Each structure stands twice: as structure tokens, then as C-alpha cells.
Structure 1
Amino acid sequence: MALDQEDGDYDSYVGNTVLTAASTSDGVLGSEQMVDATLVAAAADLVLLEAETLTAHPTRAQAVRVRATARVLTLSNELAPGFALPRRELDALSELLDRWDETSDAGRAHTAHRCAMAVVGQVPSVVRDAVNITLLPTTRMHDEQMFVRCIQIFESLYRQVADRIAQSIIALDSGDTARPLALLGEAANRVRATQGLYRVLTTMPPDAFAVIRAHTNGRSAVQSRPYRQVEDLSAPRPSDGQGPGEAHGMTLQGTLLLREADLGSQPAADIRKVMRELDSAWRAMKRSHWGVTLKTIGRVSGTGGTAGADYLRATAQRALFPLLTTNTPT
């Protein structure tokens, strides 16, 4: 990461190798819990970063960003339920948000910083260390530090969603419908909670992002492997020219269509319903991504060689499970 200024890729930019290594089981927490701990640690550090900046540079724009990051941390139990925080760790932040207009910038920064520090103290030390050493932006811009933290949070979430779809395929193939209902319902809840994270990204000034883009060519989120896994495990899809083509192997949509005659009409209908909920949440998330991109870069090409916002608009219209609306239960 420290040496990839000229030839880095998306994984090295985000620090995926380090974060993945740190999220293996520590003997107390399982790997899924450690991934969620990584997400929580990144969210807490995001609040620390912005609260410290508000203290040094108390501006209206920075106060708006602190408010947005604080809201993300209050959503951590939805974004990362596998590392759920005690309510007491989040109550003070929620109270701050409720009385935001009555609080000074100094009070906002102090409370947000104190709450985030308390959250950091809950995270395993190996995760804290990994999060600390993976903030290596390509510029000296404060905005890029926020940007890196946000995409690290997204990467952890994508990993968890992909894992839940993979587990659902295995369970459904064996005739188990209860487990996929729980797994996919949780995945949909996680994805819905990303709306708070996009509010943070909307605070990025277009001119600041233009500088970041100039230093991160070839490090596009289109290269995100967990994101691709979510879509490739969901249903076969033709190549869009920007990444892997049609998935080979089992997909959730294919497994449902293959097995639903054996599942029974009501269990199959329940599975279809939760799959549609995940589909809806995933597409809403992609529409938010498109909207933020349109605001920050307009219609210029993406750093990964895509058509930028126009590419994101097209992908946001693609269903995770395209046959669910055309095939009826057998």
C-alpha cells in the first residue's frame, strides 16, 4: 500500500489484504463477527477523523459531515449485526443527533469523539491495528481519508452479503428454507442501512473528488471482488464489458428455480419474497451510488474505464434475480 502510488489497484488502495487477514477468527470471535468488527472500527474511526477536523476547522460544511458520520455509527448494529454494540455505546450519539441544533460545534465534536473512542475500545486489537494502518491515501486531502474509510465499510458489507447468499444457496439446495429466510433478510437489512453512508459521501465537494480521481486512476470500485460475488452468486448475467461475464456454477436464483417444486408453495413464496426484498435494497443502493457519482463527477468516464455515472445508472436498473418477476412457482 505504501509503494503503490504509480501502479496500485483497488485492493491495495483499500487495504483489502490487510483487512481480510485481520478479520479471521481470533479464537473468541468467528470470522463473520471479525468482519463486522472491522466495519464498526472503520465507522468509528471515520467519526474520530471528522470530529477532530471539526475541532480544528469549525465550519458549517464540516458540521454537516460530522452529523452524517455520527448517524452511520448509530446504524452500526444494522450494518454489522454480527458485532452488535451495547445500546449505551450509541445512546449518547443518538441524543446528540436529536439535539443537534442546540449544540455548539465544540460540543458536537467532543461528544462524537468521546462516543467513537468508546466504540473503538470494544473492537479487538488486531482489528484496530489493521484499520489504523490501512488509511494510506494517495493525496494529502482530508476528503480522501473520508473516502477511503467509506469504501472500506462498503467492502466489509459486500463480503457479508456475498457470504449470506452463498450460505443460502447451500441451505436451499438441501431443502432448508428457514436458514435462507434469516440470512437473506439480514442481508437486505444491511444493504438498506447503507443509505446513511451515502449521506457522508454526498459531503464530498466535486473539486476535491476531481483531485482524488486524478491520483487514483486504475483503482475503481468496479474492481471490487465482494461486490462482484454478490451479483455473480445471485443469478447468471451477461458480461457488461467491465468485469467477469456470466457466472458459472450454482446461483441463488438457479437453485430456487431448480428446487422450489420440492419446497412447497408457501416456503417457496416466502423465499421469493425475501429475495425480492434483497433485490430491491441492492438496486436502491446502486441508485444512490449513481446519484452521488452524478453529483461529484458528472458524466465523465470512471477511473476503471467505465462510462462513469451513465454506467452506474444502467447497472442500477439490473435486477439481482431477473427471473423472479417472469417465472411463476411450479
Structure 2
Amino acid sequence: MRFVRELTSWLSGAADPDNFPYSPVLAEFHRVGKHFVEKELLALLDSARARVTAPAAGPPSPAARLLGDFLDVALDKWDGRYDYRSYLALRLLRLPCGADDGPGGDDDGHGDKAAGHPEDARRDRDRLLVRLVADALAFELAAGSDATDLLPEDRPSREVVAKRQRLGVRAAAPALARLGLAGQAHDREPAAVLRALVADGDPAVGLALRLSMLPVYVSHDEYLFIRVLQAYECLFAGLVEELRATIVALRAGHARPAADRLAYARAQLTAAGPLFSLLATMQPAAFRTFRQYTEGASAIQSRSYKLMESLCRTPEGTRLESPAYQQVPEVRDRVQAGQPSVDEAFRAAVREGLLTGADAELVAGAMRTFAAAVLQWRRTHHRLATRMLGPRPGTGYTEGTPYLAAVRSIPVFSSVTHDPGPSSRTDPTGGSPE
């Protein structure tokens, strides 16, 4: 077998990360799905990881870091640490601002930088989101024209593929507009156009994107599933940075910057609605087939989402002890160590007189509309999960849709009501979200 021959040759030589035989290894993973890769290949990859991660005199090169991260993702089931983040290969995507980069999650100092200079980070996130959607659409086109034999099981109909093209372009359109490329998305072959728009001169960018696609099975729809979930992780990483910057502005009593950050976050979340519509085109039977092999990986383990939730409002003790936070202990530890929240910062700003009158109402209004967007996202998530899962339990060791139903109305903020209408009132000392 080619992968055995090339891996053995690589291991017997200098084991140069720049020359790692990615193509035959990926081909084997794609041929059978990660869940079914033979132990012989996994053992060789484990040996390769030992070589590339051996103690060295200095920090690892970019190529060594990429290879180490890829091998960790490829060997997650072999290691017995398979979860949502390894399933989505989030470390390979290098989420802008580091919301899921490394064992400590997001604690890399990027938050303060983003708070002062958001435009570069926002642009990077937009480019990544477009790349992910474009790659999903390019796969649909290639499969529909028999240009690829990747994930051949349960191909969708031409009508479904056409619908995915339309929805994918809609999902990418807001990011394209922010990148100044809105007019480019109306070509007759939108996936090809989107892919060209995000072509990057750095080959490492394309390689990382290619390496981040490691389905567990050979169902066609798993490709779409992975890319859409990765896109949502990119979205929530961005919301985390906007909320952190909101807290900084509130602590300084700066109402307009705080409201602007919340408005941008709300617009991002609302504009991502077509991603759910895109995901809803999955064939339920195909989804139920490949999810048999995703046990242990669930969106309940999303670090970016829990960071977003806990930066809005400090969760109560019962929520912190729930499965949602038990599976992201690093976020729970951060909260218990006193992580600030928008809710807390707003209360303090009003109490200390930093925000009064119209300024307080401006921020409260922005909080209400952002909360409404979050609650709508939760409701849509629950509806889609109900359609796909039915009564089946979740893969993150929860009871599935009953769990989502129970948490979908958890308050986003408690310092303001969640009614975005004109009759709402700011109540910095309490208030009801319902």
C-alpha cells in the first residue's frame, strides 16, 4: 500500500515535516473514513508524531506545528480523546483571534489586541468563513459532475445540489460584501467563483483547509456537515472577540463603542441564518448513518459557544455543573475564576454612573437585540436537531433534543429584558428575560 511505503520511507529518513506524505495518508482516510482506518496506518502515524514532537532546541517550525496538529486530529480515536474539536480539526483552521487554538483554548492575548484593532481580525474571519463555504460548494459541484470519488455514498439529487449552491452563496454573501466582493457572488457557477475569490498565495492555507476534512465515514453529506459546523465555530470565535471588546468599552463607560460591538455581533449571528438552511438540506438517513461513528463528539463540547454564552452572562451554578460545561472544563474554570461578562459590566457601569440616561438605553437596546438573535439561533438549532435526530440521544452523552429544548430559553442577559420593542425598559438591578 502506498501510504505504508511512503510513511516508512519518511520515517527512515530525516522525517522532515516539509516533506510529509500528506496525500497518500489523506487518500486512505478518505477511502474508508477515519473510524475505519487500519491500525497499521495509525501505528505508523503515531510513530511519525513521536518524531515530529520530540523535544527540540527551539520552537517548532510552522511545518512541524501543522504536522503535529494534523497527527493529533488524525489520531484522536487511536488516542481515546476523540471529541467535537478534534472531529472538526479546529486547531488546523487557526481560528482568527485564537478562540480554539491550543490546549488553553483562547488564552493567548489576542482578545485585547482585537479589542483595539478589530478590522484585521474581522477580515480574517470573513475570509475563513467564505473559504469554508466555498470549499463545501466546490465539493458539491465536483461530486455532481463525477469529478471526484470522495465520499461516494448517498449522493444527493441534482435538485438538492442546486439548492445547496443557492444557500451557500446566500450564507457567504454578507462576508463577501464586507470584503468588498459582493458583486462576484452572482456568477453562474458560484462555488467556482467563491473559491477563486479566496485563493491565497500561501500554499499552507490551502493545505490546512484540505487537512481539516477528515470525515468518520464515506457519506457524501458529512462533508457539508463538517464545513458548516466549522463555519459556525468561526462565527462564534468572532462573537467571543466582540463581546470581550464590549466589556472593555463598558468598563470605560464608552456607550457607543459597546453598542456598536454588540450590533456587529448581532448582525453576524443573524446573517449566518442561511448556514442552518444549508445544513437542513442534509439527507436525514445519510446523517443518521455517519453519526453512528461520531459518538463522543457533539456541539455541546463547543468551546467557542460556551465562551460566548458565559461572556454574555455568568452562568448559574446549576448551568456550570451541567453536561454542557463539564465537557468544556477550561471554560468553566475561567468562569469560576471570575471571568467578566457583558451583563456584569453593564450593571457596574450603570451603578457607578459611567452610563446614564440615553447612553444606558443605547447599550441596553443593543443587548436586547443581540439576545433576541441568540434566542432565535437556539430555537432554529433545536428545530433542525429535532428533524435530524428525532428521539435519538445526542453523541455528546446527553439525551439529545430534550436537552436542547431545556436550554434554548436560558437567559442571555439578566440586566435587561429581552424584548427588543420600544416598550422595553432598562433595569440594571434585575429584570426578566422572558
TM-score when scaled to structure 1? 0.85
Is the Cα contact below 8 Å between 1:13 and 1:219 reproduced in 2?
yes
Conserved in 2, the CA contact under 8 Å of 1:168 and 1:180? yes
Alignment correspondent of 1:3: 75
1:3-36 deviation line (CA, Å, top 9, x unaligned):
22453111111111111278779xxx94443233
Matches within 5 A, 1:17-32: 17-20=91-94, 30-32=120-122
**Paired amino acid for 2:163:** V
Structure 1: distance between partners of 2:272 and 2:342: 23
1:315-326 alignment runs, 5 A limit: 315-325=407-417
Aligned counterpart in structure 1 of residue 228 of structure 2, from 150, 173, 198: 150
Give the alignment partner of residue 126 of structure 2, picking from 26, 33, 36.
36
Residues 23, 127 of structure 1: 8 Å contact kept: no
Mapped partners of 1:297, 1:309: distance in 2? 7
Measured after TM superposition, the shift of residue 123 of structure 1 is: 7.9
Give yes or no for the alignment of 1:49 onto 2:152: no
Deviations 1:214-248, CA, capped at 9 Å, x for gaps: 11111111111110000111112223311336653
Which residue matches 2:344? 254
Contact in 1 for aligned 2:127/2:198 (Cα 8 Å) = no
Match of 1:105 in 2: none
Find out whether 1:287 has 2:368 as its counterpart. no
The 2-side partners of 1:40 and 1:123 are apart by: 16
Question: Distance in 2 between the 1:272 and 1:123 partners?
Answer: 44
Change in Cα spacing, 1:160 to 1:146, as seen in structure 2 (3 Å) is same
Separation in 1, partners of 2:263, 2:269: 10
CA RMSD after TM alignment = 2.4
Q: Separation in 2 of the partners of 1:66 and 1:292?
A: 19
User: CA offsets, 1:145-172, max 9 Å, x none?
Assistant: 1100001100000000011101110111
Return the TM-score normalized by structure 2. 0.66
Partner Cα distance (2:356, 2:225) in 1: 46
Per the alignment, do residues 39 and 251 of structure 1 end up closer, same or farther by CA in structure 2, a change over 3 Å counting? same
Map of 1:310 onto structure 2: 402
Aligned to 2:86, which of 1, 12, 22? 12
Amino acid at match of 1:299: P
Bigger fraction of residues in helix: 1
- For residues 121 and 262 of structure 1, what CA distance do their matches in structure 2 show? 46
**How far did 1:120 drift?**
2.6
Q: For 1:63, give the aligned amino acid.
A: A
> 2:194 matched to 1:116?
yes
Pair member with larger Rg: 2
Pair 1:152–1:123, CA change in 2 (3 A): farther
Q: Unpaired segments of 5 or more residues in structure 1? A: 97-110
Q: 1:74 to 1:33 in 2, by over 3 A?
A: closer
What is the SS of the residue equivalent to 2:289? Answer: helix
CA contact (8 A) 1:89 1:118 kept: no
Equivalent of 1:243 in 314, 320, 324? 324
Bigger mean CA offset, 6-15 vs 198-207:
6-15
Quick one: distance in 2 between partners of 1:157 and 1:309?
Answer: 23
- Structure 2: 5+ residue runs without aligned partners? 1-72, 99-109, 111-118, 147-154, 326-331, 418-424, 430-434
Distance 1:122 1:250, change over 3 A: same
**1:91 CA drift (Å):** 3.4
Q: Measure how far apart 1:125 and its partner are.
A: 4.7
Rounded Cα–Cα distance in structure 2 between residues aligned with 1:52 and 1:75 = 25
Tell me how far 1:257 sits from its aligned partner. 0.8
2: CA distance, partners of 1:52 / 1:195: 25
- Segment of structure 1 superposing worse, 59-68 or 136-145: 59-68
Offset at residue 253 of structure 1 (A): 0.5
Q: CA deviation at 1:186?
A: 0.6
Q: Distance in 2 between matches of 1:77 and 1:315?
A: 33
Tell me the CA shift for residue 122 of structure 1.
Answer: 5.8
Contact 1:194 1:285 in 2 (8 A): no
Percent identity between the aligned chains?
A: 25
- What is the one-letter code of the residue matched to 2:165? V
Report if the CA contact (8 A) 2:295-2:396 is conserved.
yes
Distance 1:253 1:225 in 2: 20
What is the SS of the residue equivalent to 1:75? Answer: helix
Equivalence map 1:98-109=2 (5 Å): none
SS of the residue 2:415 aligns to: helix
Equivalent residue, structure 1, for 2:186: 91
Q: Which amino acid aligns with 1:43?
A: V
1:117 shift after superposition:
2.7
Alignment partners' CA distance in 1, 2:373 and 2:96: 29
